[in-house]
């Protein structure tokens, strides 16, 4: 009969198995094994109370029978009665300490009870009994990651994958953890392996999106997140990640819609509420950003991210003292959190506490007892470099900037840029108008501000945006996105820019109107809207085809100051050339070569604005710029620093104060350290 019951159970014939087993208990009342089998059948049928009674009868018959206590524990575990499950698992292990699975199950219960250290102990005991226990390694990896012991987490995920290489979830978790350490190439391999093992795996699609976002491939990232969302439209973490990407692309309204939907699903999710605050922060809605963290700040133990958000809001408002008030309690911790120290470093100059910020950062980086992810280490070294630069300790500054840039581990080949520049030059010879289509839509609305990063584009835009007829839109990725999508959108044979030879006016009209609609979404009243994406210098030929009546401001700065300032900045977007001074110099020469070509072949008006001249003769150069757009002068352009417009670039502090000259010829402070760059730019 016992074998027949087991066969029925195996075939999921629960009703028949239950009937036979109940009969068996009547004839074998003192057999604990039969009662446990009946308990299992009841449990699978959802009859939890009867299952518990059967377990207890087995225990009453044989109190030292470990499997009976284990089964009762599993029953409680299934119902979410975790404290009872914990007690029963402990009782079972006291009777028999050779049960690897029971140690694992106890670890899982303790993990759910938010007792991570105790859970880790149980997983370790399970692994001791069963060295190839992949699930135990995986769960330890998760807990260690939650404790920010990132390298330990990676080691445990690696062990898990040695024993279970075909588990998609393991690859996803490994990839996500590797990304925290600033290792995007390895992270991407694991996310793609997860998708290979489990196509349409939403978590891995979002994990791939996170890698692409880290690499600055925001369009690809948005596509990956959208694919993930197609499979799990109500996944809060995916919605949150997608919202962050959309915000970085400048699609703030859509980002807010997604993050709001995530909060509708889980209103008590603090991470999501804080993420919404940071999205508001990124688009300059500072009061709305603070409203997101305020309720969390007033709880007994406020989420640290809410404190960082509040500190950032007041930093952007220019109130360093208020920002410091939020950070001060965290800075007293031993050691203080990395994020708190970084936030403090951003306001330390305004508080005359740069020395203190340096002390905090040096102590963190020299503390061998704490594990700091590579990404945060890089940020600390960049912040240290800036702090030492403010203190005029240029030797220490360049040393830290060098270390920070090396940690990025960027791969760059100048031949890629040279090919891109050659492609633009070949498509736009002097007679390009004879064979390339152009738009029939005419608009003078866009103003394009181009140049190298750190060449004064933010300052120029802030001056122009202070004019009542000009709106400053910041750095828009739309021109580059239109260019990269052109082949696919218009079903053309060749990639951009070669596909321009196959495009017709109707297709270009659609691109023009798409961009103009974007400007209208930003501001539908201003006569002009600026787009200060520096890298649009690569697309000036396309811009002439789409906006022949537009005008270009080309920002120029001393090449050495430009390249050095790029090297000192931790850019969040993908500029692989920027993390090595020699590569930066080589990129600068390619930029210069292309700009020379554009000036020779394009009809679109281009005004060169020299940063050093603007700093020296602010009013004269500012008047030239306003005249360039056929506008009447307005004195507000001289008071650009009083403009309440929000700036979300590395230059926001500079453009919120009157013009200063300390950034001119800054390279001389580092002359002995940048000989290779000087030789390249000669």
Q: Which two tokens stand for residue 162?
A: 């040695």
Separation of alpha carbons 83 and 114, rounded Å: 12
pLDDT at 9: 67
Using DSSP's 3-state secondary structure scheme, residue 558 falls into coil
Q: b/e map of 308-342 (b: 16 or more CB within 10 Å)? A: bbbbbbbbbeeebeebbebbeebbeeeebbbbbbb
Percent of residues in the chain assigned helix, strand, coil, to nearest 5: 70, 5, 30
Q: Confirm if 137 and 163 have CB atoms less than 8 A apart.
A: yes
pLDDT at 136: 97
**Bridge partner list, 470:** 528
Separation of alpha carbons 96 and 293, rounded Å: 50
Spans of the chain, pLDDT less than 50? 648, 650-652, 655-656
Token pair 């950062």: residue: 361
**Bridge partner list, 607:** 553
Separation of alpha carbons 614 and 548, rounded Å: 27
Q: Which two tokens stand for residue 484?
A: 């990269």
Separation of alpha carbons 9 and 256, rounded Å: 51
222-246 confidence digits (pLDDT tens) = 999 999 999 999 999 999 999 999 9
Q: Confirm if 331 and 340 have CB atoms less than 8 A apart.
A: yes
Q: Which two tokens stand for residue 277?
A: 């605050």
Q: What percent of the chain clears pLDDT 70, i.e. is strictly above it?
A: 95
Which pTM was predicted? 0.81
What count of other Cβ atoms lies within 10 Å of the Cβ of residue 255? 24
The enclosing H or E element of 93 equals helix 82-95
470 φ, ψ to 5°?
-125, 130
Return the closest-CA partner of residue 245 out of 218, 277, 226.
218
Separation of alpha carbons 209 and 485, rounded Å: 18
Separation of alpha carbons 125 and 677, rounded Å: 57
pLDDT at 653: 52
Give whole-number Cα distances, 314 to 205, 297, 318, 648, in Å. 35, 14, 6, 14
Which domains are seen in the chain, by residue range?
233-317 (1.25.40.10), 354-407 (1.25.40), 414-477+507-681 (3.40.50.300)
Return the closest-CA partner of residue 195 out of 217, 175, 221, 220.
175
**Bridge partner list, 556:** 610
- Bridge-based pairing of strands 446-451 and 470-472 is unpaired
262-292 confidence digits (pLDDT tens) = 999 999 999 999 999 999 998 889 999 999 9
pLDDT at 651: 47
Separation of alpha carbons 639 and 332, rounded Å: 40
370-401 confidence digits (pLDDT tens) = 878 788 899 999 999 999 999 999 999 999 99
pLDDT at 655: 47
pLDDT at 262: 97
pLDDT at 640: 76
183-237 confidence digits (pLDDT tens) = 889 999 999 999 999 999 999 999 999 999 988 788 899 999 999 999 999 999 9
Separation of alpha carbons 200 and 110, rounded Å: 32
């Amino acid at each position: 009969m016992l074998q027949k019951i087991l066969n029925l159970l195996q075939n999921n014939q629960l009703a028949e198995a239950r009937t036979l087993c109940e009969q068996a208990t009547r004839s074998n009342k003192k057999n604990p094994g039969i009662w446990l089998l009946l308990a299992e059948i009841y449990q699978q049928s959802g009859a939890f109370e009867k299952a518990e009674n059967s377990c207890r009868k087995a225990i009453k018959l044989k109190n030292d029978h470990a499997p009976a206590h284990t089964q009762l524990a599993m029953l409680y575990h299934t119902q979410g009665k975790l404290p009872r499950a914990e007690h029963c698992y402990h009782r079972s292990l006291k009777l028999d300490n050779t049960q690897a699975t029971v140690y694992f199950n106890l670890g899982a219960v303790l993990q759910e009870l938010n007792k991570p250290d105790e859970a880790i102990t149980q997983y370790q005991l399970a692994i001791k009994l069963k060295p190839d226990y992949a699930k135990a390694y995986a769960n330890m990896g998760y807990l260690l990651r939650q404790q920010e012991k990132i390298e330990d987490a990676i080691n445990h995920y690696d062990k898990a994958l040695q024993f279970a290489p075909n588990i998609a979830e393991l690859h996803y978790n490994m990839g996500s953890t590797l990304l925290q350490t600033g290792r995007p190439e390895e992270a991407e391999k694991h996310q793609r392996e997860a998708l290979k093992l489990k196509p349409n795996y939403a978590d891995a699609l979002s994990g791939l999106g996170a890698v692409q976002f880290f690499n600055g491939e925001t369009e690809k990232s948005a596509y990956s997140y959208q694919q993930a969302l197609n499979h799990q439209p109500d996944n809060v973490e995916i919605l949150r990640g997608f919202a962050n990407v959309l915000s970085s692309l400048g699609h703030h309204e859509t980002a807010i819609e997604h993050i709001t939907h995530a909060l509708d699903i889980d209103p008590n999710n603090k991470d999501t509420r804080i993420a919404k605050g940071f999205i508001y922060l990124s688009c300059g809605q500072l009061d709305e950003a603070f409203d997101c963290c305020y309720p969390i700040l007033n709880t007994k133990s406020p989420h640290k991210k809410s404190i960082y958000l509040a500190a950032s809001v007041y930093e952007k408002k220019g109130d360093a003292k208020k920002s410091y008030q939020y950070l001060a309690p965290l800075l007293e911790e031993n050691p203080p959190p990395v994020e708190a120290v970084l936030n403090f470093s951003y306001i330390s100059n305004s508080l005359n506490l740069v020395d203190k910020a340096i002390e905090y950062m040096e102590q963190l980086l020299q503390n061998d007892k704490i594990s700091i992810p590579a990404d945060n280490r890089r940020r600390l070294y960049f912040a240290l470099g800036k702090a030492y630069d403010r203190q005029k300790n240029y030797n220490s500054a360049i040393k830290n900037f060098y270390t920070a840039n090396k940690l990025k581990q960027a791969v760059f080949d100048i031949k890629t840029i040279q090919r891109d520049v050659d492609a633009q030059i070949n498509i736009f010879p002097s007679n390009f108008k004879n064979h390339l289509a152009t738009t029939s839509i005419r608009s003078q609305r866009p103003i394009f501000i181009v140049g190298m990063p750190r060449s004064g584009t933010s300052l120029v835009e802030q001056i122009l945006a202070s004019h009542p007829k000009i709106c400053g839109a910041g750095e828009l990725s739309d021109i580059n996105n239109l260019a990269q999508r052109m082949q696919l959108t218009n079903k053309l044979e060749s990639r951009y820019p070669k596909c321009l030879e196959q495009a017709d006016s109707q297709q270009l009209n659609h691109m023009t109107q798409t961009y103009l609609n974007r400007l209208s979404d930003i501001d539908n009243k201003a006569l002009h809207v600026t787009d200060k994406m520096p890298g649009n210098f690569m697309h000036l030929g396309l811009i002439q085809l789409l906006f022949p009546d537009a005008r270009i401001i080309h920002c120029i700065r001393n090449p050495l100051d430009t390249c050095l300032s790029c090297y000192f900045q931790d850019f969040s977007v993908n500029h692989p050339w920027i993390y090595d001074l020699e590569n930066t110099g080589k990129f600068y020469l390619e930029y210069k070569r292309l700009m020379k070509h554009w000036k020779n072949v394009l009809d679109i008006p281009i005004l060169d604005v020299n940063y050093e001249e603007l700093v020296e003769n602010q009013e004269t150069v500012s008047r030239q710029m306003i005249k360039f757009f056929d506008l009447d002068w307005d004195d507000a352009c001289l008071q650009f620093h009083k403009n309440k417009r929000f700036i979300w670039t590395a230059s926001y502090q500079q453009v919120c104060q009157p013009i200063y000259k300390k950034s001119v010829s800054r390279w001389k402070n580092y002359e002995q350290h940048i000989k290779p760059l000087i030789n390249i730019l000669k």
